[in-house]
Amino acid sequence: MTRQCIFPDHFLWGAATSSYQIEGAWNEDGKGESIWDRFARIPGTIEDGSSGDVACDHYHRWREDIALMRELGLRSYRFSIAWPRILPNGRGKVNQAGLDFYSRLVDELLAHDIIPFVTLYHWDLPQALQDEGGWPLRSTAEAFVEFADVVSRHLGDRVKHWITHNEPWCASMLGYQIGRHAPGLQNWPAALAASHHLLLSHGWAVPVLRRNSLGAEVGITLNFTHAIPASPSAADLDACRHFDGYFNRWFIDPLYGRHYPADMVADYIDAGYLPPEGMTAIEPGDLQAIAVQTDFLGVNYYTRAIIRSTAIPESDNLPPTVQLAPQEEWTEMGWEVYPDGLYELLVRLYFNYRPPKLYVTENGASYSDGAGSDGRICDTRRQRYLRDHLSAAHRAIAAGVPLSGYFVWSLFDNFEWDKGYTQRFGIVWIDYTTQQRIPKESAAWYRKVIEANAIELD
């Protein structure tokens, strides 16, 4: 017997992308260079040697792409703004052509009754700012506020949903500590300073967005990994506490007025990543700024982490995680499919931090299933992944979590950062030779979910 889970009225159904991953046109119409333009050109940084130079060519195909969104029944589209398209040098001179591109995009979305959900920073920092030192510098946070101001002065009359940052853990730790993402550094003190300046720039930008975009909802998106210890041993419990602090609490705690977690500051001092005085990047007023009241918390969720203190990570700067689930239960990213983690996370976030509302701003799976002989792309594993995560989200709503929307990652197959085009997260297939867009079965399924405002469980 099938069971229906009906979502609340006005639940916002959408799909998400980001500028560098889909736009291409990396050097057109006055755009400046970003750290990803630079990083992807360094041999060995990207698994298949590719770059976002062309990606899905969305910069030229945006009209067709919006028509497709409409066909898929999306109520909202989450996308990001390429900072170097707007301020090629990171600050100062504004590139009108860049603003015009996003202005046309927003108008076309609205003309199709699709709500634009805008992320300001999804990792494509202007290279000019990285040349000065990038996020480890306070001046980059100041430049971000200028960027937020320029964009919201131009789009704020029509855009009423703003995300300051996408996944500051990635921007700071993958970029400056692990070094897998641009700018590719492996420097703990720099990464910790970067994390502070990313959060600070969020805090400073929120009032600017509110001023320029009256009545808008403003928030931030974090990526969370639900962490559990591999065993009840004291060592695994402690390693799990540390992982949770590093990945989750380091970012959410200061945003909700709790300062950086004291246990993590102590761990980082012990490890020599911070001086004995602690977080010296913090200046008076910073923590109050970071804890600014927001309208929502954006939650990106993909998998859980199982932590074993003695696990040997692939490299020194990665956490000690182990995989216990059989390989059939992983996506092609090597991430375990664990829908209950979304339920546990949403409940934990809401009841511990009390954001006024939450959106799942990313959730999805990488599977490379392509067209069969009939031309259809039967990505049943993705469909099941999405359905089971939506079911978990629905249970969280039933438990009292004010979840207001859900965005599939991703609308399109796209450039998956250091993995290049080897991973396909889209509900729409991209043929990178012809740039043809082919909706997968999951897209047809998602359209029905949106129409019914419900999922069906067997």
- Give least dist CB 325 to ligand IFM, A: 19
CA distance 24 to 58: 7
Toward ligand IFM, which CB reaches closer, 18 or 127? Answer: 18
- Give least dist CB 129 to ligand IFM, A: 20
Beta bridge partners of 227: 305
Near ligand IFM by CB under 6 A: residue from 300, 303, 383, 391? 300
> Does 108 engage in binding with ligand IFM (CB under 6 A)?
no
Nearest alpha-carbon partner for 192 in 284, 266, 127, 265 = 265
- Give least dist CB 425 to ligand IFM, A: 6
> Does 18 engage in binding with ligand IFM (CB under 6 A)?
yes
* Catalytic residue (one of 23, 33, 217, 362): 362
**Residue 167 among the catalytic residues:** yes
* Catalytic residue (one of 167, 217, 336, 416): 167
CA distance 297 to 291: 12
> Does 225 engage in binding with ligand IFM (CB under 6 A)?
no
> Does 416 engage in binding with ligand IFM (CB under 6 A)?
yes
The contact pattern for ligand IFM, residues 380-409, with x = CB under 6 A and - = no contact, is: -----------------------------x
> Does 167 engage in binding with ligand IFM (CB under 6 A)?
yes
Toward ligand IFM, which CB reaches closer, 18 or 294? Answer: 18
Toward ligand IFM, which CB reaches closer, 167 or 286? Answer: 167
> Does 140 engage in binding with ligand IFM (CB under 6 A)?
no
Toward ligand IFM, which CB reaches closer, 224 or 260? Answer: 224
Toward ligand IFM, which CB reaches closer, 343 or 409? Answer: 409
**Residue 441 among the catalytic residues:** no
> Does 121 engage in binding with ligand IFM (CB under 6 A)?
no
Residues 345-374 that bind ligand IFM (CB under 6 A): 362
Active site residue ranges: 167, 362
Contacting positions for ligand IFM (CB under 6 A): 18, 21, 167, 300, 362, 409, 416, 425
